[in-house]
Each structure stands twice: as C-alpha cells, then as structure tokens.
Amino acid sequence: MLNSKKRALVAMSGGVDSSVAAALLAREGYDVIGVTMRLFNAPFEGAGKLSKSCCSLEDVEDARATCRIIGAKHYYMNFEKEFQQHVIDYFVGEYRQGRTPHPCLACNDRLKFSFLMDRAKLMDADIVATGHYAQIATEEDGRRSLRRGADVMKDQSYVLYNLRQDQLKRLAFPVGGYTKDEIREIARNEGLPVADKPDSQDICFIPTGTYREFVEERLDEPKSGVVVDVEGNVLAEHDGIHNFTIGQRKGLPMMGGTKGPIYVTSINSKSGKVTVGSVQELLRDEVYASAVNWIDEAPPVNAEITAKIRYSSPEEPASIEMLGAEVGKIRFSKPMRACTPGQAIVFYDGDRVLGGGFIELESPLSDVSTATDLAVAA
C-alpha cells in the first residue's frame, strides 16, 4: 500500500482517462489534487464549437465533479500564455516552414511535463499523473523506462518519447496498465459522470473547421509558389505551402497532364516550390532525426530497434547512426512511405521506448531549426 501522506497532482482534462487516473490514485491513498489547465481562449464566435472538444467549461465542470466524488481538491490554472508560445506559435511556425507539426508533442513536452511539474513542486506534490496510456517501469539499475500501454489500440507512448529520467521518477500513468473498456468500467463503478463521455478527436484548439484556416489567420504572408513534377515541370500555382503536407493527395490544385494518383513528395520553404509525384517517389529507405532524446540518456548499443514514423503506423526494423549529440541517421529495413518533416520518429526495443526525434529529409547538421527551437529561444 502506498504511503497515504503522499500527494499527487493529476492533470485533468475532464475526460474519462484522467478522471480515472485521479480516482485510482485516491483509492491507493494519495492526497489527490486535480488541475485543469486553461490553454486556449476561443474567440466568441468559436466558443460553442470549442465546447465540443477539450479546453471547454464543460470539461472543467466534469473534472471538478470527479474531484468532488473522490474527495480531491480541484484547481483551474491559466496556462494560456505558455500554450500560445510553446504550442500555437510552434504549430503555425512549422506550417510556415512547410513542415507538419504534432501539437500534442509540444504540449506534453513544454506544458504537462515542464510547467505543470514546476507547479507541482510549489504545491508539495510527490508525483504528477496524467491519463496517458503508457507505463513506467523501474529497471535493476534504478533507472526508469517508458513502456507501451497495455491497450495496444490506445497506446500513447509515441507522444511521450521526449521524457527524461528526472521526469519519469516523478511521473505516474495510472491507466496505462488497463484497457479502455476497463477504464470506463472503473469510472462507472466509481460513479464518475464521465464514464461514457466520448473521446476528443480533434486538435483541442481547432475542434471544427480546418487547420489551414487557423494557420492562415496567423500568417503575416503565406508562402505562395508553384507545384512541379519530379522533372521540375510547372503544373500549377498555389496560395501557400501551409496547405500541403508530405503524402497529401486530396486538395491539390487542378493539374493537367498527370497520369495516375499523385502525391506531395517534397516542400521547399525557401522557394515555395511543392513537388508532386507517384507513390514510388514517397518511399524512403533512410531519413534523419533532429533534437533526438534518449530516455536512458545514451544511444542504445546492439539493441533490436524498431522505428515508428507516425502515431498510427506500425514500427519497422531500423538501424541508427548518431551523427552528433542530437542528430541521427536512420536506415529502414524496407522503404517507408511519406516520411514527414516535423513529425516524430520514435525508437522502440520491444515494448520499451528508447527515444526519438523530429523527422528530417536532409541532414540537420546543415541548417535546420524547427519552430520548436524558435519557440524555446523566444
């Protein structure tokens, strides 16, 4: 039994996963403090739409109701400034550079596991917990390892690769050892009002509409240019590189003279040139990774490694050659489709997350600075 005097700060979104995380810790004897982060202030005309996603007043009330039921305190903390700088500015900045961002990675890295952990210290909390489907194990040498969640379909270890040892020692993922169905059943047994609440499916600050509209409103001047084929022939003009992502097929400008399905294969942020080609041009047997983080603080040696290039894709066997402290070259055992700059490439050894970085199609040692770097430097 855990020490009843220990205190846990739980990041509560108002959904069933974080609510059950809080309930499980309360059941184990922790003094639970629920914290819901105010992240984004929607304009008046979008407030109703935002209520259908996270960050809404309805979600705050659901988190507060859960805390009342389990006997926990609840706080609503304003992180709008931090969210603007480290998530929204990053999100827009990556599209400005013709890259495809992953806002959940930035939110986890900069807010939940940085600023929120700092708040936890001020509140004398021993641990910080979230509703992520992942697991933390203690190895024989005392180090912590990050493992996949028990529910394969809900596993969120991909978006947690940037965690460090000092963070893992103060983190808990109470729902990681359960399936989603089991979590909902626990919520029902605990009498929580969110037991059957649907999961949020959208980017929390863009619940309706398209990301393009959101980005365009925040761009001083979209980078327009031309669409060309792999031989350099101009096929069409476009209004901005933020409208494209690697592997995109739908929504391309009208182009004559092309045969068969065509996809975006590369985006040049300096010239505004977007190259399209067949599915064969999307295949790559190697990529680079920037801002690489190793959870064990050092690259693995002689490990059976697999790499995952997007949240929903399976891993594939790969080898890694470190070219610098935070730069790596990854070779796949078979060509991978639509490796997308700005997305994460995450490395696994079985169910253990080794680390990861941002996908780059060219060596980052030349001149690559992601919008994340710019946001951190600001």
Same domain, 311 and 261: no
Residue 121 lies in a domain: yes
- Check which CATH number belongs to the domain holding 39 and give it: 3.40.50.620
- The pLDDT assigned to 55 comes to 62
The residue-averaged pLDDT of 181-188 equals 99
Identify the domain containing residue 245 by its residue range. 221-277
Q: Is the pLDDT of residue 205 over 50?
A: yes
**108 with 227, same domain?**
no
CATH number of residue 324's parent domain: 2.40.30.10
What does the alpha-carbon distance between residue 154 and residue 281 come to, in Å, rounded to a whole number?
A: 31
Mark whether 26 and 172 lie in a shared domain.
Answer: yes
Based on the domain organization, do 294 and 171 belong to the same domain? no
Q: Of 277, 311, 346, which marks where a domain is finished?
A: 277
Question: What tokens does 32 get?
Answer: 């639970």
Question: What are the E-state strand segments in the chain?
Answer: 7-11, 31-38, 73-78, 127-129, 134-138, 144-148, 171-172, 225-228, 234-238, 263-267, 274-277, 283-294, 306-308, 316-324, 327-337, 344-349, 352-360
Task: Give the span between the Cα atoms of 68 and 108, in whole angstroms.
Answer: 26
pLDDT tens-digit profile of 101-136? 999 999 999 899 999 999 999 999 999 999 999 999
What is the rounded CA–CA span in Å between residue 129 and residue 9?
A: 6
Into how many domains does the chain fold?
3
Same domain for 270 and 154: no
Asked whether residue 260 is assigned to any structural domain, the reply reads yes
**175 and 79 within one domain:** yes
Q: Mean pLDDT over all residues of the chain? A: 90
Residue 18 lies in a domain: yes
Q: Which helix (H) or strand (E) holds 318?
A: strand 316-324
The phi-psi region of residue 350 (left if phi > 0; otherwise alpha if psi is between -120 and 50; otherwise beta) is: left
Please check whether residue 206 lies inside any domain of the structure.
Answer: no
Strand-strand pairing, 274-277 and 316-324? unpaired
Q: Two tokens at 26? A: 């309360």
Q: Are residues 146 and 162 in the same domain?
A: yes
Same domain, 292 and 253: no
HSE on the CB side for 86, CA within 13 Å? 19
The set of catalytic residues is: 107, 204
- Span of 26-30, 50-54, 190-194 with lowest mean pLDDT: 50-54
CATH of the domain at 225: 2.30.30.280
**Residues 160 and 302 occupy one common structural domain:** no
Q: What is the pLDDT of residues 254-276, one digit of tens each?
A: 776 677 899 999 999 999 999 99
Is residue 214 a part of any domain in this protein? no
Q: Identify the CA nearest to 227 among candidates 235, 215, 219.
A: 235
Whole-angstrom distance, CA of residue 61 vs CA of residue 44: 20
Judge if 249 and 287 occupy the same domain.
no
For the cut 60, the answer to whether the pLDDT of residue 203 exceeds it is: yes
| pLDDT over 90 (residue 44) | no
On whether both 242 and 267 belong to a single domain, the answer is yes
For residue 46, pLDDT beyond 70: no
Q: What is the mean pLDDT of residues 60-86?
A: 96
| 203: in domain | no
